[in-house]
Amino acid sequence: MATLVLAAAGAFLGQSFGFFGLVAGRALGALAGAALDRSLFGSSSTVERGRLSDLSVQASSEGVPVPRAMAARGSPARSSGRRGSPRR
């Protein structure tokens, strides 16, 4: 939370120096806020993720193939702007 507040305060203070001052003030405020957040709340370096035990997600285990939609040449499924077609 301190990151957001100090980034906004830094942008407000830096805007008097133009666009680059606004960007630099916001960046410095965000860095200070991140350091303050880290010191108050701490940070754990261990990140746990769920993992798959096997790769059955990528296989067709039911035995039913995935249907494909095929359109014949010149069917209404194609784009309506064919070359050589008369305009109405």
Scan for tokens 């008097």, then name that residue: 16
Q: Domain residue spans in the chain?
A: 2-41
Question: Is a pLDDT exceeding 80 seen at residue 8?
Answer: yes
Tokens of 16: 């008097």
CA gap 77, 79 in Å, rounded: 7
> How far apart (Å, rounded) are the C-alpha atoms in residues 27 and 20?
10
Residue 30 has pLDDT above 90, yes or no: yes
Tokens at residue 51, please? 């993992």
Res. 76 pLDDT band, cuts 50 70 90: low
Three-state DSSP class for 4? Answer: helix
- Residue 45 main-chain phi, psi, to 5 deg: -90, -10
Q: Which residue has the higher pLDDT, 31 or 55?
A: 31
Q: Is the CB of residue 7 less than 8 Å from the CB of residue 26?
A: yes
